[in-house]
Amino acid sequence: MITRSRTEPPPLYVMPPLSLMSKFLVKDVESIPFQPVPQASGTYIKWVFSPKDGAPNFSMRLFRVEAGGKIPEHSHPWEHEILVLRGRGRIRIGSEEFEVGEGSAIYVPPNEPHEYLAHEEMLFLCMIPNEGVPPELK
């Protein structure tokens, strides 16, 4: 739930005028639908912030991976930072494997092959620079 330190009750989703887009944006993440992730099994994504929202440098994504779900090995020329909010799983970065769970913070360097496997349903935030955002979200 989103709260503000004002006396009037705010709406759940505050969309500022375009002139203020680079200053602030508050969203109710529950109102954003999950979309299936192509080439992954049992994996869904919410784009929380992207260039479409006026975010000039980074995008924030929320992933849900079902128990047994997998994001297969892939790599790309940008880094990303991950924070596991719920669940447990395994991530392989290069040739190293790590068991991760709630509270694990993960840095994946650019061009490093990596993959994910959820032992139980996982929910994690993943931040990437906007160079990694698909064209339809720019």
Give the domain CATH number at 85: 2.60.120.10
Identify the pLDDT of residue 2. Answer: 43
3 falls within a domain: no
* Confidence grade of residue 130 (pLDDT, cut at 50, 70, 90): very high
Mean pLDDT taken over the chain: 88
The proportion of the chain whose per-residue pLDDT surpasses 70, expressed as a percent, equals 84
84-100 mean pLDDT = 97
Identify the pLDDT of residue 14. Answer: 53
Identify the pLDDT of residue 132. Answer: 94
pLDDT at 1 over 70: no
* DSSP β-bridge partners for residue 113: none
91 falls within a domain: yes
pLDDT at 100 over 80: yes
13 falls within a domain: no
56-73 mean pLDDT = 97
* DSSP β-bridge partners for residue 98: 91
Identify the pLDDT of residue 106. Answer: 97
> pLDDT digit string (tens) for 8-62?
554 455 555 555 455 788 899 999 999 999 999 999 999 999 999 989 999 999 9
7 falls within a domain: no
List, in sequence order, every beta strand (DSSP E) within the chain: 35-36, 41-49, 58-74, 80-86, 88-93, 96-101, 105-108, 114-118, 122-129
Q: How far apart are CA 121 and CA 88, in angstroms?
A: 7
- The answer to whether the CB of 36 falls within 8 A of the CB of 65 is no
Domain that holds residue 118: 34-130
Q: Around 108, how many Cα atoms within 13 Å sit in the side-chain half-sphere?
A: 30
113 falls within a domain: yes
112 falls within a domain: yes
15 falls within a domain: no
pLDDT at 124 over 90: yes
75 falls within a domain: yes
Overall domain count for the chain: 1
